[in-house]
Every structure is written in structure tokens, then in C-alpha cells.
Structure 1
């Protein structure tokens, strides 16, 4: 018997978050244990090849696919995660499903930062393409950049203080 969503009861129009280790892949549940999702053309459903971000960074085109959820998920874990319900009103479920099914087979622009699978499903559910993963990564990158800048500034200031201190010692001799 094929797997079902008994652990994670989903309703049509719900967003499905699949944990791929280093990132999350997103799909929209359309009923009948099926999902619609955006997949870069150079990637496949195999979670081992899916786990490498290079396939996503290298792709500029993706295809909208319809699959049984267990074909997409494989051995990875997944959850229902309507992550923006607290910020936006979700569209009606039948509208989400209808729009998702109409898009199956289409090729679309793909960019990890602006047009990824999370942007795709949030646009279907809320009418707003957003990616929390991208926002989180941008914040982390900003904090890391700020940390490096602060460390560099600290090193310059410390070096300057040492030079001033050295000049004062030479001047008093």
C-alpha cells in the first residue's frame, strides 16, 4: 500500500515543507495524496541529488510538476506548513488547487533568490511570492558581513592604538 498523509493531515491548498537537509523544498497539496511543485530542470526527485544546492544555483528554468507526495518526499521528512497564514489571508482552497493544476507542465524562470519553489507556492496560496529561507539566509549573510566588518575595524583601531602607544614610548625616552 502506498504511503498517505496520515501523520500530517493536509487539506487541498495547504503548503508542504520537505526537509532536504541544507534547505527546504516546497509543494502545494492538491488532494488525493498529490502535490504540485516547481522543480529546476537540472534537478530530479532523488533526495540525494536534490540535496546539493549547486543544481539550484545553476538552473535558470524550472518546470511545474504534479506528483504523488511520496514520490517527491522520498525518505525525507515533511510537514504541512502554511507559514504566512499569520500575515496574509489565504486564497480559497479550490482557487489554489485550480491555479496549481493549470500551471502543471509549464516552464518558468527559476532563481534561487527570487523565483524558487517557496516563492511559487506562497504565490499560489497568498497571491504573494515570498521565501522565508531567502530572507533568513540574507539576514545571516548580513550578520556575518557585519561581523567581519566589525572585526576588521577592531583590528585597525587596535593597530592604531598600538602605534600611538609605541610613538609615546619613543617620545618619552
Structure 2
């Protein structure tokens, strides 16, 4: 396994046409979106990303489909980076297993989209680590707890980590 996969690794934000120099097959890619949210997928090693999104075949805005699109298409004008920071806490699956999971999911419905329990980061983490979790959701919940809990209950009990 490469060093970045053992210790956790995050690259600086960059343009989509440059990320292929940094990313390795099976790496988790993050795409900046407005409002501080990040879209997340798995790099295929050949200029593409496996990700959960809407698109052709999706009949409802709440439905999601596993797709493979070119990085530049997913990024649009936004920046992208490799973010494998969870590697420091979670053992990533082997590259071949990550890509197998991603390829087997192509064209399948990902279920009803739910920002808190079934979003693109949940799916990318499942493909890379076998764990369906979203750090964006955890950060949001803890941020709300930090804002509202201390005046009423002292320090929040760190609801999620």
C-alpha cells in the first residue's frame, strides 16, 4: 500500500485537470461546492470519478444513481482535492476491492438521497473503507451542539465523532 493510504493524506485544492497527477486509483476525491458543502467520489485512475448523483434514469430529485463521469465534468468550475484523511483512523480496503465495489455499483440506484444518512460521502466511504459515514454530517451536528447545548447543558457530550 502507498504511504498516503497508511497515514492519511489530503492534497491542496487544485484544478480538475491537475488532480490526476496527485490521485491514485481508489482515492477519495472531494469537489468544492457553494455553501461549504463538498461532493465526494472515488477516483478510477483514468481521469474519471465514481460518484452518487442524479442524472439520466433518475425519476425523482430525491433518487440517486451511481455513475462514472470525467473529473472535469463533475468539477465544472470548482476545485478538487484528494482527501484520504480517514486512512489514519480506518484501514482502507485494497485498491482492487475499492474499484470493484465502485464498478459493480455503476448504473444502480443508490436509494433515496438523504443529506444526513445517504449522501455521496457516505457512499464513497463505504466503497473505500466499508463504512457508511459522512464527516460533513458529523461536523454539522457537532457544530449545532457547540452552538446550542453549552448555554443549556454545559459542554456538549460530543454526540458524534
State the TM bucket, normalised to the shorter chain: 0.7 to 0.9
Q: Does 1:27 align with 2:41?
A: yes
User: Please, what TM-score do these two structures have when normalized by structure 2?
Assistant: 0.75
Deviates more, 1:130-139 or 1:102-111: 102-111
**Contact residue 37 and residue 64 of structure 1 kept, 8 A:** yes
- Give SS of 1:31's match: coil
Partner of 1:162: none
**Contact residue 59 and residue 111 of structure 1 kept, 8 A:** no
Instruction: Compute the RMSD of aligned alpha carbons.
Output: 2.2
**Contact residue 41 and residue 61 of structure 1 kept, 8 A:** no
Separation in structure 2 between the aligned mates of residue 130 and residue 107 of structure 1, nearest angstrom: 18
Unpaired stretches in structure 2, ≥5 consecutive residues: 1-15, 154-161
Write out the 4+ residue segments of structure 1 that deviate beyond 6 Å after TM superposition. Answer: none
**Contact residue 52 and residue 123 of structure 2 kept, 8 A:** yes
Number of equivalenced pairs: 133
Matches within 5 A, 1:94-173: 94-109=96-111, 110-146=113-149, 149=152
Unpaired stretches in structure 1, ≥5 consecutive residues: 43-57, 151-173
Separation in structure 1 between the aligned mates of residue 139 and residue 54 of structure 2, nearest angstrom: 21
